């Protein structure tokens, strides 16, 4: 969606190293924003983004406007019902429908061989793999590791919203996730409830964390909640969404694979 950072550019660089032609899209997609969210203030820096993409060797940049993607009588959406009950979908109703719709449209327009996404948006990655499978799309979905700041904070366009004190406080997110990882490493029989409690307690220790929207331990392949990570054949992640100051941030790490 633009406001590119090193996380986005890592995807571009990987694509450049593996493909003859690289196309990047920059489009702030209105259908994945809910009422009261940050659509209007989401950072738009197309000139800067184009320069960064050019420096990474992108061949073409696709920059449609809303009329191009959603015309006057637009009425078709991709709705993946199996995602309705996962925490991110409950926290952001309609978000995944918007993501599924725009990604389907972009795949139809560009017809890529490979498409690159970041693990930071874990639910989005699982969703896209699901729609590719269900809709018989001939696209290979490549998921790349989350790129982080030196203090562990996941790279995100929304980090720009953080004040200096909020930016410092936001490091508690990664600390809480790594504590969860440490627990399952030292105690493989730990339950998801135990892991979530540890994560929540650490987040609650930071006064600038004004809200914890969810903490979830889920299957890496379906995003369905699991009761014990060691019992999952598909591997597990721990995902969370919280508000630091007034800024909503998400993150996740792999617990078991």
Q: What is the pLDDT of residue 5?
A: 86
Q: In the prediction, which pLDDT does 35 show? A: 77
| Mean local confidence (pLDDT), 216-242 | 92
User: Rounded distance, CA 112 to CA 20, Å?
Assistant: 11
Tokens of 26: 């920059």
Whole-model pTM: value is 0.92
pLDDT tens digits along 79-89: 998 889 999 99
pLDDT in tens, 102-118: 999 999 999 999 999 99
Helices assigned H by DSSP within the chain:
6-18, 46-55, 66-69, 87-91, 95-110, 122-134, 164-169, 171-186, 192-204
Based on the residue annotation, tell me whether 8 is a catalytic residue of this protein: yes
Angstrom distance (rounded) from CA 220 to CA 230: 13
From 5, 8, 60, 95, the catalytic residue: 8
Residue 132: what pLDDT?
97
More confident residue, 40 or 58: 58
Mean pLDDT, range 230-256, rounded to an integer:
93
| Cα–Cα distance list, 148 to 145, 152, 174, 195 (Å) | 9, 5, 9, 22
Rounded (5°) CA angle 197-118-84: 60
Q: What are phi and psi of 145, to 5 degrees?
A: -60, 150
Domains of the chain with bracketed CATH: 6-144 (3.40.50.620), 157-255 (3.30.1300.10)
Contact status, residue 6 vs residue 56, Cβ threshold 8 Å: no
- pLDDT exceeds cutoff 90 at 41: no
Helix (H, G, I), strand (E, B) or coil at 15: helix
Name residue 127's beta-bridge partners: none
Supply the mean pLDDT for the chain: 93
How far, in Å, CA of 51 to CA of 107, rounded? Answer: 24
209 in Cβ contact with 203 (< 8 Å): yes
Q: What is the dihedral of CA 16, 22, 23, 28, to 10 degrees?
A: -10
Task: Classify each residue of 119-148 as buried b or exposed e, where b means 16 or more C-beta atoms within 10 Å of its C-beta.
Answer: bbbbbbbbbbebbbeeeebebebebbebbe
């Amino acid at each position: 969606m633009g406001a590119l950072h090193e996380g986005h550019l890592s995807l571009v660089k990987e694509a450049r190293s593996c493909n003859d032609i690289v196309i990047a899209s920059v489009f702030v997609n209105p259908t994945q924003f809910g009422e009261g969210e940050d659509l209007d203030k989401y950072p738009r820096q197309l000139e800067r983004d184009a320069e960064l993409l050019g420096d990474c060797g992108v061949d073409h940049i696709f920059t449609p406007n809303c009329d191009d993607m959603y015309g006057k009588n637009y009425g078709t959406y991709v709705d993946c019902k199996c995602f309705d009950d996962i925490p991110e979908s409950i926290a952001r109703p309609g978000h995944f429908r918007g993501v599924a719709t725009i990604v389907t449209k972009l795949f139809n327009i560009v017809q890529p061989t490979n498409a690159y996404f970041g693990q930071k948006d874990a639910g989005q990655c699982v969703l896209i793999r699901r729609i590719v499978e269900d809709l018989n799309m001939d696209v290979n979905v490549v998921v790349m590791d989350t790129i982080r700041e030196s203090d562990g904070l996941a790279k995100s366009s929304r980090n720009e919203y953080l004040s200096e004190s909020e930016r410092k406080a936001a490091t508690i997110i990664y600390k809480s996730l790594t504590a969860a990882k440490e627990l399952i490493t030292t105690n493989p029989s730990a339950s998801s409830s135990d892991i979530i409690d540890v994560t929540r307690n650490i987040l609650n220790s930071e006064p600038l964390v004004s809200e914890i929207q969810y903490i979830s331990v889920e299957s890496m392949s379906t995003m369905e909640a699991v009761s014990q990570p060691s019992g999952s054949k598909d591997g597990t992640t721990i995902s969370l969404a919280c508000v630091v100051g007034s800024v909503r941030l998400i993150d996740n790490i792999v617990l078991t694979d």
